[in-house]
Amino acid sequence: MLTSRSFWIRTLRLADAPASALALDERPFGAPGPPAYVHARSRFRSLRDPERVAVYAVHGAHDSLVLEALRPGEGDEHTLGVVREFRRVPLEATALALALFTARPGGTAAVLAALAHFVERAVSRYQPAYVLLAHSREQPRLSVLLLGVDEVAALGAAVPEAFSLEALLPDLAPRLAASPEWFTYAPDAGADEPVGTLVSPYAV
């Protein structure tokens, strides 16, 4: 007996443009949440260059509108392959960060292995709300790390360095073509955020 399965396509778009140029799509008919064909969508701004932005999205693979969303546009378009993912339900996060790692030629596997080990330790020690480790299918040397935490809970557990990679960088740096690039969560200025949280439930 044949049954239909639901697949998710994760994408990341990078562009050097004002954050307003990559505004999130309007919600259909004024309904809360993201558009029907998008499971999650979040926008980030680079800490290194405020004009550099990233938009992460999770699309339903069976929706015809995904094809339009995946067509190359201005900036870099990436389809992400998941290496590790962890999510707490319900999602309660006050901080969300995204980091990009570009491995040296021949160093992709070693970088992914080091980051995967970091994710496994982070889940048990930092108690994150969400963790995603993925790599670009178009540019395999590019790895993506997305982290979400409840800062109050992290402070209560005496682990305020939930986003810190300082212990990992000495071993990781020689395998990277450039320093990791960090992005901070930058939601729509007009988006309604739930009381008691700074991260939209539709961000991840």
Question: Using one digit for the tens of pLDDT, what is the confidence trace for 77-97?
Answer: 899 999 999 887 777 777 888
Q: pLDDT digit string (tens) for 163-181? A: 667 778 888 999 999 999 9
Answer whether residue 107 shows pLDDT above 50. yes
Say what the pTM is. Answer: 0.78
Contact 12, 56 (CB under 8 A): yes
Question: What is the rounded CA–CA span in Å between residue 143 and residue 166?
Answer: 17
Give the domain 8-185 fold.
Answer: Alpha-Beta Plaits (3.30.70)
Q: Give the residue-averaged pLDDT of 177-187.
A: 91
Residue with tokens 């992290």: 154
Q: Which long-range contacts (CB under 8 A, 24 or more apart) does 68-75 make?
A: 69/11, 69/37, 69/38, 70/9, 70/11, 73/13, 74/15, 74/17, 75/13, 75/14, 75/15, 75/16, 75/17
